[in-house]
Chains A and B, each alone.
Chain A
Amino acid sequence: MSKLTPEQIHAIIKEEFGAESVSDLDNSRTMPNFTVLDHTLWQPMAYFMRTDERLKFDYLACLSGVDYGDGTLGAVYNLESLSAYQHKIAVKLKCTKENNTIPSVAEIWRTAEWHEREAYDLVGIVFEGNPDLRRILCPDDWEGHPLRKDYKVQEFYHGIKVPY
């Protein structure tokens, strides 16, 4: 049991969930990552990644919501094995603007709960299964999701003119 390279991590995931479940590894210099293609597998995969003896990804460092500007939204998970091996990998999930749901991993990494709320608030991704999916930074009755590329700020908020 030792620190694994991104290739080895990717191979373990592929072996466990089938070659169709994830995309090829993007082994970039700055952030090696792969994309989960089958959304229904994401929760079991996350649980597997956290608990498997070889992987032990027990620390979710960051979860970012992204609007790619071409009609797709995405969530990027930066995972790390903190207490065991200290290897790292980034996982991506993508969805469309019309069908904007991604399964939640808040029950697997508790830290994801607030990160998912933030991604919901700012990018408008609905995380199915999050126990408390409310807006977190913007007011509850704010309109739209500010980090969407086509975001237009509302004219008035409770009678106060918003654009300055």
Chain B
Amino acid sequence: MAETLEYTPKTRLSQTGSNQYIVEKDLDTEYMTLNMGPQHPATHGVLRVELVTDGEVVMKATPHMGYLHRCFEKHAESLDYQKVIPYTDRMDYLSAMNTEHAFVMAVEKLLNIEVPRRVEFMRVIVAELQRIASHQVAIATYGLDIGAFTPFLHIMRDREHILTLLEWLCGARMLYNYIWVGGVSHNFPPKFKQRVAEFVKYYKPKVDEMMALLTENELFIERTRGIGILPADVAINYGCSGPMLRGSGVKWDLRKNDPYSIYPEIEFDVVVPDGKLSIIGDSLSRHLVRCYEIYESLKIIQQCLDKMPEDPNFDPHAAVPKRIKPPAGEVYARGENPRGEVGFYVISDGKGTKPFRCKARAACFVNLSVLPELAKGNLISDVVAILGSIDIVLGEVDR
């Protein structure tokens, strides 16, 4: 059962639910419409937010997207199942492995096939490495958005280690096509596990450093604490997932609550803010959840490395079907991405090797829909802080 933490207001301002501003009567001025984006460094891509403002206070925020629409769902209908996987990479280009994993699980459920146990471990290791890399970008650019430049350089330096590892594994830095239906594209190279273990050992103290540098910075806390408070029931009603939902104090993680792959065998915690440093549900909470999830991912990787079965003659293509022709049926399969729940609703008509319909439920698309609610009554500069804490990737919003 998902536990919900008690919401306790910490300051006078937050007693109304957040520190939203209310313009006093007779002091309101003429409304002004202001476009934020599509070319704006703090919108993390081509997003346009139409702000109706009264002075500095946002009265209404309307996001407009579609600038990056690449017709993923239309393309998927004219491609074989294997050929859809590279397209899923390009949806959320910062967490390609996780999105691939969700799509591949959908097709495997339709086919009703089992994958070798070693493959499951390999998938989880790369998916958790990717989760760390993705959270690093989220944290680094969030700092950048609100004026902290130095942490960005430190974090990007460490992210490079992960990208180098994944490049060594399958030849690509960001868009891998690594996880295949029934297997993976390449076996782990010799000494790969050793290098990953070295990275885990190297990176743990660096996370502490990052926390000290950014999260414990008083200016950073001032900019984010109590900004954009999202109560738990609103978050659920808006379909938020991932760090957005956990930041509101709801202990919900698909790796635990709807377990897939080998996650049930792994010990890790679902992180929710304790409300000591942040107010539960605010921008700082969402940031803290991401920071602490890096520790959990490192834990998962370490356990996978220890438990992974050894097999010198392992063939990662052994269970890959030559021709993917699922029986007629439909499936909704999902996985926990760094940004939340990514699901694929796939219909097979049983006649061909192409999906009849392939709908992608994008985490960012749904998380972004709560922005008008959060931005209302905040200052324009705080909209940047809120948008950064939602952590959107426009490739996934627009698909």
Binding site for B on A (CB under 8 A): 28-31, 33, 58-62, 64-67, 69, 76, 78, 82-86, 90, 109-111, 113-115, 118, 122, 135-139, 146-147
Interface: B137 (CB within 8 A): no
Q: Which of B12-20, B69-77, B212-220 contacts A (4 or more CB under 8 A)?
A: B69-77
Interface: B193 (CB within 8 A): no
Contact A62 B343 (CB under 8 A): yes
Contact A139 B66 (CB under 8 A): yes
Q: Which of A82, A136, A146 contacts B65 (CB 8 A)?
A: A136
What are 26 inter-chain pairs, A to B, with CB distance below 8 A? A30-B109, A30-B330, A30-B331, A30-B332, A31-B331, A31-B332, A58-B236, A60-B239, A61-B332, A61-B334, A61-B361, A66-B357, A69-B356, A76-B345, A82-B236, A83-B4, A83-B232, A83-B250, A86-B1, A109-B237, A111-B237, A137-B398, A146-B74, A147-B73, A147-B77, A147-B357
Residue of B nearest to A80 (CB): B258
Shortest C-beta distance, A56 to chain B (Å), equals 11
Q: Which residues of A contact B1 (CB under 8 A)?
A: 84-86
Q: Which of A64, A82, A85 contacts B252 (CB 8 A)?
A: A82
A135 to B330, CA, bound (A): 27
Contact B112 A29 (CB under 8 A): yes
Shortest C-beta distance, B315 to chain A (Å), equals 28
Known: A62-B345, A111-B237, A138-B66. A28 touches B357 (CB 8 A): no
Shortest C-beta distance, A33 to chain B (Å), equals 8
Q: Which residues of B contact A135 (CB under 8 A)?
A: 66
A120 to B59, CA, bound (A): 28
Q: Which of B2, B232, B366 contacts A86 (CB 8 A)?
A: B2
Shortest C-beta distance, A118 to chain B (Å), equals 8
A111 to B237, CA, bound (A): 6
Size of the B side of the interface (Cβ < 8 Å), in residues, is 41
Contact B369 A114 (CB under 8 A): yes
A136 to B329, CA, bound (A): 29
Q: Which of A30, A61, A65 contacts B239 (CB 8 A)?
A: A61
Known: A61-B239, A109-B239, A146-B71. A86 touches B257 (CB 8 A): yes
Q: Which of B73, B74, B343 contacts A78 (CB 8 A)?
A: B343
Shortest C-beta distance, A77 to chain B (Å), equals 10
Task: Tell me which residues from 150 to 202 in chain B have a Cβ below 8 Å from any Cβ of chain A.
Answer: none
Q: Which residues of A contact B365 (CB under 8 A)?
A: 114, 118
Residue of A nearest to B232 (CB): A83
Task: Tell me which residues from 316 to 353 in chain B have a Cβ below 8 Å from any Cβ of chain A.
Answer: 329-332, 334, 341, 343, 345, 347
Shortest C-beta distance, B22 to chain A (Å), equals 22
Residue of B nearest to A60 (CB): B239
Interface: B238 (CB within 8 A): yes
Most interface-central of B74, B110, B234, B332 (chain A CB within 10 A) = B332
A136 to B48, CA, bound (A): 12
A144 to B71, CA, bound (A): 14
Known: A58-B236, A122-B73, A146-B71. A111 touches B398 (CB 8 A): no
Contact B109 A137 (CB under 8 A): no
Residue of B nearest to A142 (CB): B66
Residue of B nearest to A83 (CB): B2
A31 to B334, CA, bound (A): 12
Shortest C-beta distance, A74 to chain B (Å), equals 10
Q: Which residues of A contact B257 (CB under 8 A)?
A: 86
A28 to B365, CA, bound (A): 29
Contact B238 A110 (CB under 8 A): yes
Contact A78 B345 (CB under 8 A): yes
Interface: B399 (CB within 8 A): yes
Contact A62 B359 (CB under 8 A): yes
Contact B2 A78 (CB under 8 A): no
Q: Which of A29, A58, A62 contacts B361 (CB 8 A)?
A: A62
Contact B252 A111 (CB under 8 A): no
Shortest C-beta distance, B46 to chain A (Å), equals 13
Given contact pairs A28-B330, A65-B359, A110-B369, a sample of 6 additional A-B residue pairs in the complex whose CB atoms are under 8 Å apart:
A31-B329, A31-B330, A31-B331, A114-B366, A136-B66, A137-B398
Shortest C-beta distance, B69 to chain A (Å), equals 5
Q: Which residues of B contact A139 (CB under 8 A)?
A: 66
A58 to B77, CA, bound (A): 31
Shortest C-beta distance, B108 to chain A (Å), equals 11
Residue of B nearest to A85 (CB): B1
Contact A64 B369 (CB under 8 A): no
The 8 lowest CB-CB distance pairs between A and B, nearest first, are A111-B239, A64-B359, A30-B331, A62-B361, A114-B369, A137-B66, A137-B69, A64-B345
Residue of B nearest to A3 (CB): B1
Q: Which of B250, B252, B332, B347 contacts A62 (CB 8 A)?
A: B332
Shortest C-beta distance, B228 to chain A (Å), equals 16
Q: Which residues of A contact B345 (CB under 8 A)?
A: 62, 64, 76, 78
Contact A137 B112 (CB under 8 A): no
Q: Which residues of B contact A62 (CB under 8 A)?
A: 332, 343, 345, 359, 361
Q: Which residues of A contact B347 (CB under 8 A)?
A: 66
Contact A90 B369 (CB under 8 A): no
Contact A61 B329 (CB under 8 A): no
Q: Which residues of B contact A115 (CB under 8 A)?
A: 366
Shortest C-beta distance, A141 to chain B (Å), equals 12
